[in-house]
Amino acid sequence: MSTPVPKRNQVSPFLVFFLVNAMQIGVGVLGFPTYVASELGADGWIAVILSGIIITVTIFLIFSILKKGGGDILQIHCRLFGKVIGNALTFLLIVYLLGIVLVILRTFIEVIQVWIFPDLETWAPSAVYLLLAYYAVVTGFRAVTGVCFFGVILSLFTYFSLIGPIEFFKFRNILPLVTHGPQEFLAGIKTMTLSYLGIGMIFFLYPFISRPHKAVSWAIGANVLTIFMYLFVAFAALFYFSPAQLEKTIWPLLTMWQIIQLPFVERFEFLAIPVWGLVVLPNICLGLWTTSRGLRLLFKVRQHQVLILLCLMIFCSSVVLETREQIEQLNTIVSEIGFYFAIVYVPLLWMMQFIRKGGQSHDQSV
């Protein structure tokens, strides 16, 4: 059993709202309408809702698993699968979460390179982001939570920018409704899952929540906010672009930002992208904290040392990924893993824990 987390290092259940929303809102907002439209066309907004419902159920199951297992995912894995397989599953979970960090970082660097600085070398923004994330993580979990809090506030303000394109909206673009079959909706849901990724981090931050039994409603509330935020962007993209145009637009949100003009800046996206960079930072901070924490518990090493190793791994991997095709392939792989994580791994873990004889709640919440 892992050492209980001191209360001075824990955060209020209310702050779980910002942690969960910060996990989910990031670089995926900039381009997800295109990927969903490629599968479902004007029905893409339905996939946003269905994916959100699946993730809501997954969040509830994760909290249920952790409550019954005392908040220690390592011990839960070992009790259900044995030490060897249990530790292997924990390691694979950490690798999956680290893959999410790499996807977020490299995709946003690509946005910077395409839209602002075409000649910018990948290593420069990668180094800056990782240094900032490193500083936040070594400062402690409460500092990471603070970064997530401000990231969520910034993302909410940025959404007001979508008021500008309203005059060009064609509301008939989403008609007719429900013109696709179950297989196409399944493909759309799998594609949309990438934008909701990150909830697996709850497995490691749970012990740092004060009174975690009260945090479930805040986590689900955060996911509901995420659904509405994605719906807002999805409808804006569907109203602004025709289905054919949307399938050919890589970053619909950025394209809509192009038409906004302010007295002090001609190209609004030059202002919005750096601001969105501060929204992406919490994803990286929380991902690195989670994975370094997990490896610390798994291998009994110092978190500071393993954090340096993870930063170097992410840095080298981001530099190696040079082409659009490589980045797309990485996104596809992580999205596929995330889909099965939500609909197979978490429900299976919950069922095995539920039917295990003699299983009793080990929740240590007060």
pTM across the whole model: 0.90
Tokens of 349: 């873990």
In 3D space, the residue among 191, 193, 212 whose CA is nearest the CA of residue 202 turns out to be 212
The DSSP secondary structure of 265-310, one letter per residue, reads BS-HHHHHHHHHHHHHHHHHHHHHHHHHHHHHHHHT--HHHHHHHH
pLDDT at 61: 93
Domain 8-355 has CATH 3.40.50.300: no
Q: What is the pLDDT of residues 49-86, one digit of tens each?
A: 999 999 999 999 999 999 888 878 888 999 888 899 99
Count of beta carbons in the 10 Å neighbourhood of residue 320: 10
H/E run at residue 131: helix 123-139
- Averaged over successive runs of 10 residues, the pLDDT of the chain (366 residues) comes to 75 93 87 84 87 92 89 88 91 93 92 90 94 94 93 86 82 81 84 80 91 91 93 90 83 85 76 88 94 92 92 94 86 86 90 70 44
The residue ranges of DSSP E strands in the chain, in sequence order, are: none
H/E run at residue 112: helix 83-115
Helix (H, G, I), strand (E, B) or coil at 104: helix
Q: Which residues pair with 209 in a beta bridge?
A: 11
pLDDT at 98: 93
pLDDT at 33: 86
Tokens of 61: 């199951």
CA distances from 122 to 210, 288, 313, 327 (A): 39, 19, 14, 13
